[in-house]
A and B are shown apart, each in its own frame.
Chain A
Amino acid sequence: MQKKLIGTLNELNKHKQFSRWVNDHDILVFLNKNKVKAISNICPHFGGPVGYHEITEVNGEKVFTCLWHNLQFNVDNGVCTLHKNLKLREYEVIIDSDNIFVYVN
C-alpha cells in the first residue's frame, strides 16, 4: 500500500466533499460526523460518479446518489440502499497539517 496525497482540508471545506483520481483509484473524500472519510467514487453498477451530487438525506439516512442511474449509498458504511451486495470500498485516511493522504494499492 502506498500513501498518496489526495487533496487539502481547504479543498474539502469548500463543499464538505470532493473526489479525485489517485493512482488509478477514483476516491471520494468527505466530512462525516466531523471525521474525514474516503470511499471509492466508482459506482459498482456501471462506473458512475457516486459523489457528483452533494450528500442528501432520504428517510433519515444520509446518502450519496450516483449521477448516472441514481443508485444511493449510505455515507456511514458505503452500502447501496437498494442492493446490499453493492458496497463502496473505504480507504484509510491520514491528515498531516493541511494535507489529506490516502492509502492505495
Chain B
Amino acid sequence: MKYFLKSKSSLKTNFPKKLLLWNYWDHEHIVGTHFKHYKKVNIIYEDNKTCLSERLAKLPYIPFYIKTTDFAILLNGSQMVVYHYALFNLLFCKQTFYFEEDNKGYCKVTRIDYLEVPRFLTILQPFFDKIMRKWFIDVWKEDMPMRKRRLRVWKLGFNDFRGIDYVNNPAEKKFTKPMRPYKLELPIAKITHEKNTKSGKVFLRKIEKSKHIGYGLPKL
C-alpha cells in the first residue's frame, strides 16, 4: 500500500488563464525569475502538451541543490499535472494544477501536492502541508510582477522576439487597438539555451548574486 502526504493551495488573480499557463509553461524563466532557487534546467523533450526536463533546484528547507526529473502534462486547457522525481527516484511528488477562469477576467489557480512516503513518515503531514503552502505563495509572489508586466506590454502591442513597434521605431504610431485576447502557443519557442549541448536544451542561471535594482521606480 502506498502512502501520500497531501497539501492544497489556491489563489485567485486578475490575469487571463492563458497568461497564467504561459507562465507555468515558460520553463526557461525558472533560471531567470526564480534564479535564487534554480541554477540549471535541461529540457529533454517538449511538445504542445508535455515537457520532460531536469532541474537543479534548492527546495524549501534543504540547504543544497538536488537534481529533479520533471514531467509536465497539460491534460486540457484548464488542468495540468506534474510528476517530480528526485534523489535517485526515492522522492516522488505529484502536483495537479487547476485553472478556473470566470467571466470577469479573474482566474483561480489551485495546486494539489502529493508526496509518496513510507507509512511511518505520514506523521509529517502537517509539516508537509505548511511548507508546500509556503512554497506556493513564495513562487506566486515572485511570478506576479512578471505576469503583471507581461500583460502590460501585451496591451501595448508587444510581439515575442520583436518587442513593441513604436518603441523600436520612433516613426511608428502607438498601439491603440482594444485589448487583444491573450494568445498562447505551446511549446513556447526558445532562444536562450546554451549552444553545443549534446542532449536537450540547457538553460543556465547567469547571475550568482544580484544587487536588485528592481522592476522600476514609481510613476512621477
Contacts and interface: CB of A to CB of B under 8 A. Distances in A.
Given A44-B161, A53-B213, A70-B192, 8 more contacts: A20-B219, A46-B26, A52-B212, A53-B211, A67-B33, A68-B146, A69-B192, A70-B205
A20 B216 contact: yes
A5 B162 CA distance: 27
Interface in A1-45: 1, 5-7, 11, 15, 17-22, 24-26, 40-45
A6 B192 CA distance: 31
Nearest to A19: B216
| Chain B interface, >50% SS class | loop
A44 B164 CA distance: 8
Contacts of A66: 32
Interface in B199-220: 203-207, 210-220
Contacts of B150: 46-47
Contacts of B146: 48, 68
B210 A1 contact: no
A26 B207 contact: no
B87 to A, nearest CB: 27
B145 to A, nearest CB: 8
28 contacts: A7-B217, A11-B217, A17-B213, A18-B217, A21-B219, A42-B163, A44-B168, A45-B161, A47-B158, A47-B163, A49-B149, A49-B215, A52-B214, A53-B212, A58-B206, A65-B206, A68-B29, A68-B32, A68-B33, A69-B203, A70-B31, A70-B203, A70-B205, A71-B192, A72-B206, A86-B161, A105-B172, A105-B174
Contact of A5 (B163, B203, B220): B220
Given A5-B220, A56-B207, A45 B160 contact: yes
B207 A47 contact: no
A53 B210 contact: yes
A14 B109 CA distance: 39
A42 B164 contact: yes
B62 interface: no
Contacts, number: 115
B83 to A, nearest CB: 25
Q: Please indicate which of the listed interface residues A7, A49, A58 has the most CB atoms of chain B within 10 Å of its own CB.
A: A49
Contacts of A61: none
Contact of A45 (B167, B168, B191, B205): B191
B45 interface: no
Interface of B: 26, 28-29, 31-33, 35, 146, 149-150, 153-154, 156, 158, 160-164, 166-168, 170-172, 174, 191-192, 203-207, 210-220
Nearest to B216: A19
A54 interface: yes
B192 A89 contact: no
Contacts of B215: 19, 49, 52
Contacts of A45: 160-161, 191-192
A84 interface: no
Q: Please indicate which of the listed interface residues A18, A24, A41, A66 has the most CB atoms of chain B within 10 Å of its own CB.
A: A24
